[in-house]
Amino acid sequence: MQISLSEHFTYKKLFRFVLPCVTMMLVTSLYTVTDGFFVSNFVGKNAFAALNLIWPFLTIIGAAGFMIGAGGSALISYTLGMGDEKKANEIFTMLVAVLTVVGVAVSAVSFVFMRPISVFLGAGASTLEDCVLYGRILLCANPLFMLQVAFQSFLVTAEKPKLGLWISVFSGATNFIFDFLLVYVFSLGVWGAALATAFSQAVGGVIPIVYFFCKNSSRLRFVKTKLHVSALWKAAANGSSEMLSNISGSIVNLIYNYQLLRLVAENGVAAYGAIMYVAFVFAALFIGYAMGCTPIIGYHYGAGNSRELKSLLQKSLLLTTAASIIMFVLAELLAAPLAKLYVGYDPHLYAMTVQGMRLFSLSFLLVGFNIFGSAFFTGLNNGKVSALISFLRTLVIQVITILALPLIWGLNGIWLATVVAEALTFIVTLSLLFVNRKKYHY
């Protein structure tokens, strides 16, 4: 049974509506997780470190997909809530076209300068060639990756979250199968891992394009359009928090890598990579939930249903609390086996990773609230507040803690930097929700 955005969302309906989006994010998170597993175990820890050095840059240039997807879906659902389906489809088509052009242009420039970029990111003699090779192959698929990310949000707005789920599952399966064949069976190393991810991103980007070009039963489809400058600006501004979150997170990863290279060399980068893969999978649950809720919030805000906004906020806070506790307990219990999965071949690296993972997992108690808080204001088309939460959480506070805490606690200070940053951001998020409660009547 299809659930429309205009309905009253009980816990059961809310869970069913966001579940495909949560699953999509989990599958998406498995891209790098799968590459990391095969490269670390079947190529070596230097190649594994190379992937972790270059991935933050690839995330930065793909961040426009998150911006257009989140900001665009909120604007489109708001327009649908006001009853203007024709304009909603024109905005949708225009955003996809602009994102495609931007993706191709940014990827082409980055491809040319991949070697100096890799050097700037900290690649040395043992990692440089792998960084360049992996980065250039992924750049060829980057425009489709940006579209894939945006379509994850657009398919939810089109009330087709299950289709998005199956596309993500198919894309993730493609990545795993080709990683197994190209890295494990045919021993193509980093080249094979990069091709596997590029193929899967192409699958995730092309299928939605075909779907929206054809006649379909969703509320969105490609139509004749023009450049709606005002709508583009609103979508970009409103989704800036999601883009900022990805860019800031990548910058923070670069600083983490710098600090770890300084303290414990390539072993630190490899340990951090394993921790981030696990953290990304856990955080994907919260990101997927927030992504699934954003169009609902945007629709009911556009329709003036303040009672439904209040209901959604209350339910979301309760669900986030339960999920946060479960994620923390699981992370603590699974720290050792998960670390062994990636770096069990090196006892020293393994011990370092387990210690870091157990300290880092404290952040799972709070990260869900901060992610949802930012997405909630995105749904309300308040890009400024949403961006403020993301900016403080993923950049300002984290940079300070990463640079300062190692001076006090050494390597443990690096693992605790995110924990402190999430705690301080949590205070800000609660304050902003309280201050804006009368403005939006939630």
pLDDT per residue as tens digits for the range 395-427: 899 999 999 999 999 999 999 999 999 999 999
The Cα 139–Cα 372 span in angstroms is: 30
The Cα 354–Cα 344 span in angstroms is: 10
Q: Which position has the higher pLDDT, 331 or 168?
A: 331
The Cα 340–Cα 351 span in angstroms is: 9
Nearest C-alpha neighbor of 196 from the set 26, 188, 111: 188
Lowest-pLDDT range, 110-114, 178-182, 381-385? 381-385
The pLDDT value given to residue 178: 96
Share above pLDDT 90 across residues of the chain, in percent, rounded to a whole number: 65
Give the count of alpha carbons within 13 A of 45, CB side only.
19
Q: Which residues contact 132 (CB under 8 A, 6 or more apart)?
A: 114, 115, 118
| Sign of the alpha-carbon torsion through 172, 177, 183, 184 | positive
Structure confidence at residue 261 as a pLDDT band (50, 70, 90): confident
The Cα 60–Cα 251 span in angstroms is: 8
Is this model's pTM higher than 0.85 or not? no
**Please, what is the average pLDDT of the chain?**
91
Structure confidence at residue 1 as a pLDDT band (50, 70, 90): low
The pLDDT value given to residue 245: 73
pLDDT per residue as tens digits for the range 274-288: 898 889 888 989 999
The pLDDT value given to residue 145: 94
pLDDT per residue as tens digits for the range 306-356: 999 999 999 999 999 999 999 999 999 999 999 998 899 899 999 999 999
Tokens 């990579």 -> residue:
273
Q: Which position has the higher pLDDT, 441 or 431?
A: 431
Nearest C-alpha neighbor of 360 from the set 422, 306, 429: 422
The pLDDT value given to residue 16: 87
The pLDDT value given to residue 240: 82
Indicate if the pLDDT at residue 31 is higher than 80.
no
